[in-house]
Amino acid sequence: MNNLIRFIVRNHHFFIFLITEVIAFFFLFQYNQYHKSTFVNKAGVALNGINRFTSDIEDFFYLRDANEKLAEENAHILNTLKRSYKENKISYKEIYDSVYIKQWNYMAVNVINNSVNLQNNYLTLDKGQLHGIKENMGVVGPNGVVGVVKHVSNNYAVVISILNPNFKLSARLSDTKYFGSLHWDGIDPRYCWLDDIPNHIKVDVGDKVETSGYSAIFPAQIPLGEVVEAKKDLNSNFYHIKVRLFIEMQSLTQVYVVENYLRDEITKLESKLNIDD
Amino acid sequence: MIRLLSRNIIRFLVLVLIQVLVLNNIQLSGYINPYFYILFILLLPFEIPGWAVTLFGFLIGMTIDLFANTPGMHAVATTFMGYLRLFILRYMSPRDGYEPGTFPRVFYYGFNWFFRYALILTLAHHFVLFIVESFNFASFGHILLRVILSTIFTLTLIMISQYLIFRK
């Protein structure tokens, strides 16, 4: 500090010159329009150059942020693409008719998950509660029964497959109309077993098997398969019939959910029997 | 001492008035502007320190500016001129220095010395003044022409004043 003061005192002539010149230039640029504007312009050009240089450098360091922002925007734009949306269209139409009461309604849905090689197989459908799917609705494929809806969320439904030992389907022989229960033994997804057919009737290889329509879940007369082998169980008086399924569970893409409009009526009426007992 | 002070004050006022009332209204062909008022700085006594001359330069320049409505323009030039005077005087000092009781005039140091002294400082002043005035280095040749022509005119007035007014 002392040295600085000494330096200034020693060069007081120059410093006074400097200060007065600064004051003079201040007046010059402050009160002369021409000088002011020229000074501002010239200084502006120089400052612009410097600013551009520094902002270029700054931009380089902000590239990372900019990239992240762009990526976010990309994600946002991708989200608005059509392929990001699941189609919520419902492809059925109700027709009211006083001659025919519409009992069965079919709704086309897509299978988005499927399994055939597990013990308990399930399917997932791409429509759910919002589209009118409820639990215990039947699911049929192009030629046969696929399963029954087990759980529904807003947009999806899980179906217990016919290839699941817990699933039993009421089925009958097309010719004789004798009915029994169809179930899977957990071994070969192409074959199911039809039990409870009494062994006094005649069953041939190649006989057709169809749904009985007793369950209020599936309509009657949906073809299920044909008999491959009919074993007589000597202990129980019933056949043990091996059925080859028409439906190919491995290649399911589109199935139909079946709704029985009269189901409530049937179940209510049938439940009265239990009360009577 | 008081006589010296009052003389300089009167000289200051008279020179400013001449400059403002007469010479500022003379503009020959747009090139020549005589600035006779710088004579005040030229004639300040040797004994006044350099920093004071700088301040006086600023003062008279600012005064002229106030009348000419060009704040700072003349002040920049006269401050520079006042700052420079000390070094010019040192550079041009006789072998045994400036004698006490003498003033920087033709009468004491001769035409040759005073002419060189006045020429250098007038050139310096005019040069700075015209550069600041145009504030544009693109027309440098034009500025130089104005500096030279105005310097001739100003210097002529200063030299004449040495023989008509400041004879002693």
In whole numbers, what is the pLDDT of chain B averaged over residues? Answer: 87
CB atoms within 10 A of CB B92: 15
Q: For position A95, what pLDDT does the model report?
A: 65
Residue A245, phi then psi, degrees to nearest 5: -75, 140
B110 touches chain A (CB under 8 A): no
**Shortest Cα–Cα distance, A29 to chain B (Å):** 8
B58 touches chain A (CB under 8 A): yes
Q: For position A22, what pLDDT does the model report?
A: 92
**Residue B11 clears pLDDT 70, i.e. is over it:** yes
* Total beta-carbon pairs less than 8 A apart between chain A and chain B: 66
* Nearest CB to B54; choose among A13, A25, A26: A13
Task: Of A10-19, A93-102, A190-199, B135-144, give the lowest mean pLDDT range.
Answer: A93-102
B89 touches chain A (CB under 8 A): no
**Residue A4 clears pLDDT 80, i.e. is over it:** yes
Which residues of chain A approach chain B closer than 8 Å at the C-beta?
12-14, 16-17, 20-21, 23-32, 34-35, 38-39
Q: For position A68, what pLDDT does the model report?
A: 80
- Report ipTM (2 d.p.): 0.85
Q: For the segment A105-162, what is each residue's pLDDT rounded down to a tens digit?
A: 888 888 888 888 888 888 999 888 988 899 889 998 878 899 999 999 998 999 999 9
Beta bridge partners of A173: A209
Instruction: Tell me how far CA of residue B107 lies from CA of A173, B7, B32, B110, B159, in angstroms.
Output: 149, 17, 28, 6, 11
Q: For position B168, what pLDDT does the model report?
A: 63
Residue ranges covered by each domain of chain A:
2-78, 104-276
* Nearest CB to A21; choose among B50, B73, B76: B76
Q: For position A94, what pLDDT does the model report?
A: 66
Using 50, 70 and 90 to split pLDDT, how confident is the model at A36? confident
Question: Is CATH 2.40.10.340 the classification given to domain A104-276?
Answer: yes
Query: Can you say whether the dihedral through the CA atoms of B156, B159, B160, B166 is positive or negative?
Result: positive
B37 touches chain A (CB under 8 A): no
Locus of tokens 């700054």? A58
Residue B121's closest CA among B154, B168, B163? B154
B132 touches chain A (CB under 8 A): yes
**Shortest Cα–Cα distance, B160 to chain A (Å):** 30
**Shortest Cα–Cα distance, B57 to chain A (Å):** 9
HSE-CB for A95 with a 13 A CA cutoff = 8
For B84, name the nearest residue in chain A, comparing CA atoms only: A17
Q: For the segment A194-246, what is each residue's pLDDT rounded down to a tens digit?
A: 988 888 888 889 899 999 888 888 888 888 999 998 888 778 888 889 999 98
Residue A92's closest CA among A102, A84, A101, A83? A102
Decide if B147 contacts B33 (C-beta within 8 A): no
Q: For position A115, what pLDDT does the model report?
A: 85
Which residues of B fall within a CB distance of 8 Å from A24? 58, 61-62, 72, 75-76, 79
* Nearest CB to B50; choose among A13, A21, A38: A13
B36 or A78, higher pLDDT: B36
Q: For position A33, what pLDDT does the model report?
A: 81
**Alpha-carbon distance B16 to A167, whole Å?**
119
Residue A255's closest CA among A174, A162, A130? A162
Contact check, Cβ <8 Å, B51/A12: yes
B interface test, pick of A27, A29, A30, A34 with most B CB neighbours within 10 Å: A27
Q: For the segment B28-46, what is each residue's pLDDT rounded down to a tens digit?
A: 666 677 889 999 999 998 8
**Residue B137 clears pLDDT 90, i.e. is over it:** no
Beta bridge partners of A192: A243
Q: For position A77, what pLDDT does the model report?
A: 80
Q: For position A53, what pLDDT does the model report?
A: 85
Instruction: Tell me how far CA of residue A55 lies from CA of A48, A51, A52, A58, B112, in angstroms.
Output: 10, 6, 5, 5, 60
Q: For position B37, what pLDDT does the model report?
A: 92
Q: For position A89, what pLDDT does the model report?
A: 66
**Alpha-carbon distance A149 to A153, whole Å?**
11
pLDDT (mean) for A2-24:
89
Helices (H), A32-148: 33-61, 63-80
Question: Is CATH 1.10.1760 the classification given to domain B2-93+100-164?
Answer: yes
* Percent of chain A whose predicted confidence (pLDDT) is above 90: 17
Residue A21's closest CA among B91, B127, B80? B80
Planar angle of CA B3, B53, B148, nearest 5 degrees: 115
**Alpha-carbon distance B155 to B168, whole Å?**
19
Q: For position A86, what pLDDT does the model report?
A: 66
pLDDT (mean) for A91-109:
74
